[in-house]
Amino acid sequence: MVNRSRVALLSAVVALAGACTSETTEPTTPTAPTTTTTILATTTTTSPRDACRVGAPRPGVDIESETFFDAYKYSFNDQLIGFLGGDGPVHDPWMDPALDHYFPDVETWVAAGNEITDRFYNSGYGMGEPFRLFTTRRNEFLESQGITDLTLTLDIWANQDCEWRVEVHSPVASPNPCLLEAAFPDSGIEVCTGPFPPTAGQRAVWTGVEVFYIGGRSGSVDWKVKPAAFLFDPVSGAVGAVPEPPVDEGWGALDVVWDGARALVVGQNAYINEETDLRPRILAYDPVSDVWAVVTIFPEEFQVLGTTVFTGTEVIFAGGGQNQPDDAVWVYSLADDTWREVQGSPLPMVENARGVWTGTEAIFIGGYSGAEEFVHHAYDPVGDIWRELPDPGVGWIQYQDLFWTGDRVIVAPMQIYNEIHGVHNSLSYLLYDPARDDWSWTAEIPIQPPIRGAVTWSGEELLVWGGFSSNWIPVPEGAAYDAKTDTWRVLSASPLSTRTDHSGTWTEQGWVIIGGSPDGGTPGVAGLSDGAIYDPATDTWEYLGGS
């Protein structure tokens, strides 16, 4: 799970965990231990684990994970499963609540799964101790409850003279995590106690009356995106339903803007099967008529979504997305429903660049485009003119957003790479002045500089709250930057728990923050369903529901 060796996802970084109960002193990890599989839910308080035993070595599932899952989902070969993953006992609370959660051996567990056509699918792994397997479960019972996928994480570790132990934890139901509480009423899981759908990574825009939300993930690093949309009125606190968008289940929002009457949403289908139409599209939602419309579908040749810039009359699309670099630039005219490909673009093959509209130019900055290249360009769509900005000399930038203050572009937050410090969260943010065509830096942020937090421009200040530090420690603080005086202030303590990938939207009532994930790197951690409103004038927070 490494993106061109430059950023290791948290799913591949796992800490040393405790092992089976034993009086031994210097625990070591055998290369091929005896393998008894005990599956434990984190919600249970008692452990039916076997005592540590000495036995003949067997291959562990860390080196045979694909064979393990193939044996389960295709043939229900209990002998092979027992050889690879241990012979039991098994504790599995996420198969069917009508079944006994405890199985004396693998053979009994496999037979129970066979009755409801239970299947596991291996979606990834994280090396280390414990070894982690990221899985998806599907079966007849889950389907009957409207759950198309149940995301689970298996943690596997061993101690001296111990057999492998496996814990199943962090279950998340897709496409709606709330279905899990209804399907497993005695599980103790509570992810839907707040007023909002439990979602991370959702997109939002202020309509002038309500905040419109769409897309996102049901949990952290859970790429089954949710096309669901809803409205929130910060005055009344009401959460309003929105009809389902005319898209596939695997479709997520890339960006959303307000054109004065409609929410324009740009998105693209995720690959599901050979019949899936992967062409990006623009949707429009009218909150007055409560109706969706497909505004346009991208030209056949254009297959990758990068960044979008809304000029008021046109939408500019540039570059590529995560692990899909592209140098194409397209412009769609809302007035006459036409597309044109921009010829002679100087952009390199880039992924995750970002853009912002200044009133006359689209400014594109950052993203990953190779060690020797950096995106710092401006495009005038009226004159069809490109110009290259001076090189700010910061290597490549990721996790950035761009904000137009009226005279400068703020690049924030930023994780940057240079040869001296490697990859790190920047202590200051870049400022670009188009009139002077030069760069400067803000004063240093007075908190741990975060990434993947909420950030917005209020019209007076840049507001930042939450996210992760460079070493992936949650940042429980926020700060506000005054661009006129180049000064920061620390926000008062928020009532929200630490989180990442949450939505922060500026409204007339203040800064609305909702959702997010409590763990940005482990698949299968449900999104959060609470939120808060921050008032910069009084430096106070209003908590929005939640347990």
> What is the model's pLDDT at position 292?
96
> What is the model's pLDDT at position 291?
97
Judge contact between 24 and 160, C-beta under 8 A.
yes
Q: What are phi and psi of 205, to 5 degrees?
A: -150, 145
Question: Residues 218-227: pLDDT tens digits?
Answer: 776 665 666 6
Tell me the domains of the chain and their CATH numbers.
2-183 (3.10.450.50), 298-442 (2.120.10.80)
Residues 6+ away with beta carbon under 8 Å from 241: 230, 231
Whole-angstrom distance, CA of residue 407 vs CA of residue 440: 13
DSSP code of 244? P
> What is the model's pLDDT at position 82?
60
> What is the model's pLDDT at position 57?
37
CA 165 to chain centre: 29
Listed in sequence order, the DSSP H helices in 24-156 are: 65-70, 78-85, 106-115, 140-144
> What is the model's pLDDT at position 529?
92
Give residue 290's region: left, alpha or beta (phi > 0; psi -120 to 50): left
> What is the model's pLDDT at position 23?
29
> What is the model's pLDDT at position 18?
24
- Listed residue (513, 510, 504) closest to 539, CA to CA: 510
pLDDT under 70: residue ranges of the chain: 1-69, 71, 73-89, 126-131, 155-167, 220-227, 249-250, 271-273, 371-372, 523, 546-547
> What is the model's pLDDT at position 423?
84
Q: Concatenated DSSP letters for 402-463?
A: EEE-SS-EEEES-EEEETTTEEEE-SS-EEEETTTTEEEEPPPPSSPPPBSSEEEE-SSEEE
Whole-angstrom distance, CA of residue 430 vs CA of residue 200: 27
What global pTM score does this model have? 0.80
Quick one: which H or E segment has residue 338?
strand 338-341
Question: Residues 455-475: pLDDT tens digits?
Answer: 999 999 999 999 999 888 899
Q: CA-based Rg of the chain, rounded to a whole angstrom?
A: 25
